Amino acid sequence: MEEIGELHLVMFPWLAFGHMIPYLDLSKLLAQKGHKISFVSTPRNIDRLPNLSSLIQFVKLPLPHVDNLPDNAECTIDLPIDQVKYLKIAFDGLEEALVKFLQDSSPDWVIHDFAPYWLAPTASKLNISTAHFSAFAPPALGFLGPIQELKGVDMVRTKPEDCTVKPKWVTFESSVAFRLYEILQVFDHTMVEVDDNVSDIFRTGVVLENVDLVIVRGCSDFEPEWLKLFEELYKKPVIPVGQLSPSTFDSDDGNSAKDDAWKESKDWLDRQTRGSVVFVGFGSEVKLTQDQLSAIALGIELSGLPFFFVLKTRRGETDDEGIELPKGFQEQTKDRGVVFTSWAPQLKILSHDSVGGYFFHSGWGSVVEAVQFEKPLILLTFVADQGLNARVLEETKMGYSIPRNEVDGSFTSDAWQVYRDKIKEIKDIFCDSAKQDFYLDNLLQHLQAHKRNN
């Protein structure tokens, strides 16, 4: 393979941990291959990222003040979902500081997320190449459609019901589409402009139109038809970079509170029978409603299984609508379960032999982590691309979705069913280190060959 000279790559993710973490994972892998990486975000977000690498330069850009955005809110997890629109306005205000950094540092590439729709044209004027790295799984990105559809030109999807069927540009067999209750939860936050705030879907369309390259978190062995579709939709190179499965546990950097939390967790897990525990957790972005939490708690109680439940009771410091477990739940289940309402070491819990299944939201980062440790998947979707991910997992027999009302998404306690054999098969695709290295080298070859300042 042709030798690749050192590249300077600027990474600029959206202000959500489901985006920042895959950007950080990719940054580490590229830095380990000898390239200079500048990871750009806001101060509080960088300080909260796990397992920071000394090989990476972390660039802190202060988030501009915006009316109605609470103090210290720098990430989606800091806010109720209806306030995230103010975070997007503040994010757009980073443009001047970021451009100043690019002028001073003259990188070869800026690899950025869907949100900075203003970035690629400016970078081009500075003779800097741009790439969009999508944190979404390829089927979720492909479902969104061609650039004209994303930008609202000749749209074929104008109402939520239009998103519940396979789109016309997907010409191969696929069940990937939203359930009505799934798209109703996100339609107004992602598909349409709200209060003069540029929609997520429009941002994505402009980004895909203007970048030089598209990088996707995926692999040709698992989703070849979707990767081929991207080339047709975007009319530019699309490079898969593998699943970025974690190879080591996050370091807690001497954080005694986190160390104590893991010791307590491990002591309890060590006492459980192998493969008996259901790990229940719905990620940093999801806050359950009180009715949803009550139904989940009842299902856990009726299952009779040991469980480890990581529960988010509030979303950000300004969220004054807390939720609570049903009265008596913890007393009734204290001999067979643990409930964590603070930080918990997810990767370490998933790796433990006593964990026999993962009941979660189907976020793709968590999918990859669970597959690495061959944990069967039980799915309960809530926001963003989770519904589309669930269709992929159902279609490939990797996961089982809890039955729900198709219109309002309500659910009751139901059977705890899991798929095991398929997870072991898929692990060989998701977690093969040689294949991951191949994808990285292929990306680097392309970045070297097609940078603007060759």
Residue 444 has pLDDT above 90, yes or no: no
The predicted model gives 411-436 an average pLDDT of 59
- pLDDT of amino acid 122: 94
Quote the mean pLDDT of the chain. 84
Contacts of 369 (CB under 8 A, 6+ apart): 245, 246, 346, 347, 350
- pLDDT of amino acid 422: 54
Which pLDDT band, with edges at 50, 70 and 90, does 193 fall under? low
- pLDDT of amino acid 421: 55
CA 218 to chain centre: 13
Give the count of beta carbons closer than 10 Å to the beta carbon of residue 245.
Answer: 18
- pLDDT of amino acid 418: 41
The predicted model gives 78-84 an average pLDDT of 85
- 183: nearest Cα among 167, 197, 196, 168: 167
Lookup result for tokens 């010791």? 263
- pLDDT of amino acid 440: 84
- pLDDT of amino acid 34: 93
Task: Give CA torsion, residues 21, 109, 53, 363, to 10 deg.
Answer: 10
Residue 409 has pLDDT above 80, yes or no: no
- pLDDT of amino acid 194: 60
Residue 99 has pLDDT above 80, yes or no: yes
Name the most confidently modeled range: 134-148, 200-214, 274-288: 200-214
d(CA 206, CA 14): 15
Condensed to tens digits (0 to 9), the pLDDT of residues 209-260 reads 999 999 999 888 888 899 899 888 998 999 999 888 775 444 444 455 566 7
CB 45 within 8 A of CB 20: yes
- pLDDT of amino acid 408: 64
More confident: 396 or 102: 102
CATH 3.40.50.2000 domain span(s) along the chain: 8-245+432-450, 256-430
More confident: 414 or 359: 359
Query: Containing H/E element for 240?
Result: strand 238-240
Which pLDDT band, with edges at 50, 70 and 90, does 28 fall under? very high
**CATH H-level, domain 8-245+432-450: superfamily:** Glycogen Phosphorylase B; (3.40.50.2000)
d(CA 405, CA 147): 33
d(CA 280, CA 300): 9
What percent of the chain has a predicted confidence (pLDDT) above 70?
87
- pLDDT of amino acid 61: 98
Condensed to tens digits (0 to 9), the pLDDT of residues 364-390 reads 888 888 888 888 888 888 877 888 888
**CATH H-level, domain 256-430: superfamily:** Glycogen Phosphorylase B; (3.40.50.2000)
Condensed to tens digits (0 to 9), the pLDDT of residues 42-78 reads 999 999 998 788 999 999 999 999 999 988 899 998 9
The predicted model gives 31-48 an average pLDDT of 95
d(CA 429, CA 431): 6
Condensed to tens digits (0 to 9), the pLDDT of residues 307-329 reads 899 888 777 666 677 788 888 88
In three-state secondary structure terms, 327 is: coil
Enter the pTM of the model: 0.85
